Structure 1
Amino acid sequence: MLALRKTAAASGLDFAELATPAPAPGEVLVAVEAAGICGTDLHIADWTAGYESMTAAMPVTIGHEFAGAIAALGEGVSGWAVGQRVTVRPSTVCGACPSCRGGDPDGCTGRRGIGIGRDGAFARHVRVPSLNCVALPQGLDAELAAMAEPLSVSLHAAELPAIRPGERVLVLGPGPIGLGIAFFASLAGAEVTLAGVKDMPRLELARSLGGIATVDLAEDSLGEASFDVVIEAAGVAAAVTEGLARLRRGGRFVVAGIHARPAPIDLTRLVRLEQTLLGAYRAPIADWPRVLSLLSRHAEAARKMITHRLPLAEALQGFDLLRARQGCKVILLP
């Protein structure tokens, strides 16, 4: 089978022909029907800071946003059947650390990411722990289900500040995560503004979803506006500075972007204005069925986030589209 792999601790990705894997005990083999290119995949391809830990796993097939059908069951797997359609939470836990033994797998200290620390889904088949599978609702297609992982992150970030109807919310960064955050904040009844820099195609996409105002900070400004909630999803230090400057007294600030370098924060101002700072990273697996349900109920709007569909053999073109900010979610079809 064709697979897209990270083979060295340097910029670049390589295609390889691999044998179809067999599931180990406790695992299932998933036939991948759709897989999304994530910002993380782009960082891995370009080898930006923060991913050095995956060097030990190389060569490794990347890709962690996906959905498909179970093609085989490993020894000891119960509760699943061949042909059952699933999406997969990509964070695999060790089962042996104190958190896992104590019933808190989200606190696992020995986790490995599918597509980072073990082979991922930019291939025809991928083996995954059965515990990481989430069944798809009846009628939900694979390309929408493949967005469950990024949208679980978006939902988690949108729910952390407990947004109330009528509140003013600023989302910084119109990538897939930021777009999802803006969408869920709008569903919560907030007045949402999504801001980016030289991101007009993705800002236009956001407006097409309805209920979301947009600002391209390269051409316009936020004026004197202040917000009850600011959610940063850009991974850029300047966005943290801009966002905190727009946060009202007593407001909530959520950092959802991944930053390669530290960002300066005026803690004295934050204390005096009694603002709250929150970090949003990985959604608990309990959120995934809710995300899939939301995708089913809002399929027409969610599908607009998919701007390109490509065969796996043309995956590198998808990476180029994202680098040029010409795409929002690029779906690969193995």
Structure 2
Amino acid sequence: MIDPNIKLLTNPVSSKAEIEKAFMEARVQDGIFPAGAFRIALPKLWGVDTAGEDIIPSVERPVVPIARFTPGHKGAVGSDLDAKVVVYGAYLERVLNGADWLRAFAPSQGWSLVDLRELPTAYGLMGDAVALSHDGRLHRMLTIKDGNHLFLVDGSARPDSDPKDPMLQEIGLLACSRFSLLSPSGRYFAEEMTKQSLQGARVSASFLLPVSWTAVEGIDAPRDGAALHFIQHNHKSNLGTLIAVLGGDRETHATALEAIVLDKLSAQGAMFMTSSTVGQGTQGDFEVVQFEARWQERAHTVLSLRGRIDGRPVSIQMISATSEVNIEQWAVNRRVFDIVAQTLSSV
């Protein structure tokens, strides 16, 4: 049974002097694929095993452990707790928040997330978490993203008594907080992006969208405004829908544009149960509302942005499966919507 009293350690327990005495910075380049070379903080007297330069995350092998650190001496810090630090490399075929990736990956390894926070970065929301595994190990983890690679630093220990003891997380916390790539690409997104434009009569706006999304017909633009409709699909089904509408006059509110889209969904059988505000704009005057809906015998999430661009209303909806129905689809679409909202600007 998961102990709800286990809390995420965010600051070291030991003093700065104690940490400087017991820990060191390690650079790992040999035995790692070039883009994965990194530096990390570890206890002294620890050793490392690397996977090899030819072990690269890919479509065929999306997650691989690229380095494993363990105490090299029985007197080393953490040896009495069977402590270790594993660095995983993952391949991202689609844009994704590191926090959502971790939510899906942890259960696949037999880990139950106990506490998780989402850290905002230019690369998306990274997952900073503590988890318990089925064999009793306590894991302190962090995701780091670069282009279409995502890295997970996993510091774990086997509790000899109380899993709530924050010292069990300190090795993992220091490894996570001091991890950095030696040669980061600087690419924010896992996919190639394209700029999409809403061309109104008096105002125009643009945003970034992955090239994997396809423009389709079917959305009527308001007078002097503009509208775009995109879908992402595979050979079997529609994986997500994005609708963006720019109003042509100052008097119209974004909720009126939103209502037109929601009414069309209702006409197709959608039933909207609940709604809640889940975000506010930092680069513009907008808010994000999340609707829970059901139609075609499935639960859906509708993320809806309401805002203004140079005084004209703008409304954008992302329609997706819920995380309970398809966590991967939901996570990808959530990140796409974030990118659209963050890059939305006047032209």
- How high is the TM-score relative to the length of structure 1? 0.28
More helix by share: 1
**Whose Rg is larger?**
2
More strand by share: 2
- How high is the TM-score relative to the length of structure 2? 0.28
Structure possessing the higher relative contact order (Cα contacts under 8 Å, 6 or more residues apart): 1
